[in-house]
Amino acid sequence: MADERIVKQKLRRLLQSVDFETETQRSITKKLEEELGVNLSQHKPMIKDEIDTFLTEQQDAEDDADDDYEAEAAAAPPAKKKLKGAGGGAAPAPPQGDLVVPLSATRFATVRQLGGRAMVDVREFYEKDGKLQPGRKGVALQAAAWTALVQSAAALSAAVEGRDLAFCLDLGASKRATISAFKGRHSVDLREHYEKDGQMLPGKKGISLSEEEWGKLCAAAGQISGKLGAAGGGGGPAAPAAAGPGGAAGPSGAGAAAGAQAGAAAASASAGGVDLSSSRRADVSRYKGSLYVNIREYYEKDGQKLPGKKGISLPPDQFASLRQRAADLDAALKGHNTGYEVQLSNKRKASISNFKGRFLVNIREYYEKDGQQLPGQKGISLPEEQWGKLLGGLPGLAAALDAA
């Protein structure tokens, strides 16, 4: 079996010369196998991640090139930056893309191609020479990031409605979805972050969506996911459009938050699960006629993901107890309160544990010995990042449980 470090190095060199208009992941893998003289089937997940990372870097470079245009537009008189229409002549044509969803007069979500792969680009545009040009405010989401966003859309909608500035959803590739506030107005912030002094800080590349804009994005989630899959981006979980007042697609005004939550809940319900890491997942399944929420670690064998020993299956009542106390559990995790516990049943509880300086959420079954409650084998310990993903996906799992 080839050393992963060497495979990554060779792959990076190969990607520099690849024509993504004609090459695919399969053809790139084949070229790499020919160069190394070994079978790379076990490295497929890593190869996919590296290709996605490379394409994201290419997108970032493209965004940087756009900055020059936006700087020029910013230096122009304000009247020239405004879009025409409403008595000012014909408005410029909308941006190009496989699918274009208007979120406002200057903001759009588009499904477009980069390097032969489809992605969802949520961006603000400005007018120059009668045409709409992409601005710096925006973020490009590949299929995995878009799927993660849709899976937790209901939680995001609830967080913006509840003004929860502590909410954070990891989208991968240093991108996050958070709640931001400016002059009393709360927004869904989709942004690239960078690390400094052990902390992840928001960068310049990103966009803050008002509740109305976020609602329109949620309403179009199913349409976007379908187009993304059809365009070769792998797609995301489909969701029906949320109807606004009068049955029109896309909520507006006071109904934006409610429409967003309805569309997001449908999106999360159809997602079928939450990926916590490359080997861990939470989903809903049925066993002997009963429903469970499974939080489990998986291993790969013969190209298939199989359930491992680490994990726990929660019946609906235990999952409801976990969800009800999830915010308190999260606060205990961040406060390193190892004395905090949530009783899920007579033998099961969720608690905060500390292992070599790392604090985790431990969801586990216990047994009694000599008058003491001791941890059993059934259970799983989630580091803060994985717990954060589960926390964001709880509304979607609840919706999937109700729909099953």
**What is residue 86's predicted lDDT score, i.e. its pLDDT?**
42
pLDDT digits (tens, 9 = 90+) for 172-185: 878 899 998 876 78
Quick one: DSSP state of residue 2? Answer: -
Non-local CB neighbours of 91 within 8 Å, separated by 6+ positions: 83, 84, 85, 105
Looking at per-residue confidence, does 230 or 368 come out higher?
368
Most confident of 81-85, 148-152, 160-164: 148-152
SS3 for 87? coil
The pLDDT mean for the chain works out to 77
235 sits in the region (left: phi over 0; alpha: psi -120 to 50; else beta) called: left
82-271 and 277-403 in the same fold: yes
Check: CB of residue 193 under 8 Å from CB of residue 174. yes
* Position 272 pLDDT exceeds 60: no
Closest CA to 264 of 319, 209, 184, 312: 209
Looking at residues 263-286, what average pLDDT do you find? 67
* Position 352 pLDDT exceeds 90: yes
What is the pTM for the complete model shown? 0.45
Q: What percentage of residues in the chain have a pLDDT greater than 90?
A: 21
Non-local CB neighbours of 388 within 8 Å, separated by 6+ positions: 168, 169, 170
pLDDT digits (tens, 9 = 90+) for 8-56: 888 888 888 877 657 778 888 888 888 888 888 888 888 877 776 676 5
Instruction: Show the beta-strand stretches assigned E in 183-222.
Output: 185-196, 199-209
Q: What is the DSSP string of 324-383?
A: HTHHHHHHHHHTT-TT-EEE-SSSEEEEEEEETTEEEEEEEEEEEETTEEEEEEEEEEEE
Domain ranges of the chain: 1-79, 82-271, 277-403
User: Residue 107 — φ and ψ, nearest 5°?
Assistant: -120, 140
Could you tell me the fold of the domain covering 277-403?
A: Transcriptional Co-activator pc4; Chain A (2.30.31)
- The class (CATH top level) of 82-271 is mainly beta
**What is residue 56's predicted lDDT score, i.e. its pLDDT?**
57
CB-based burial of residue 111 (10 Å sphere; 0-12 exposed, 13-18 middle, 19+ buried)?
A: buried
Most confident of 15-29, 45-59, 60-74, 149-163: 149-163
Two tokens at 82?
């405004």
* Position 144 pLDDT exceeds 60: yes
pLDDT band at 236 (very low <50, low <70, confident <90, very high): very low
Looking at per-residue confidence, does 247 or 207 come out higher?
207
d(CA 187, CA 220): 18
pLDDT band at 115 (very low <50, low <70, confident <90, very high): low
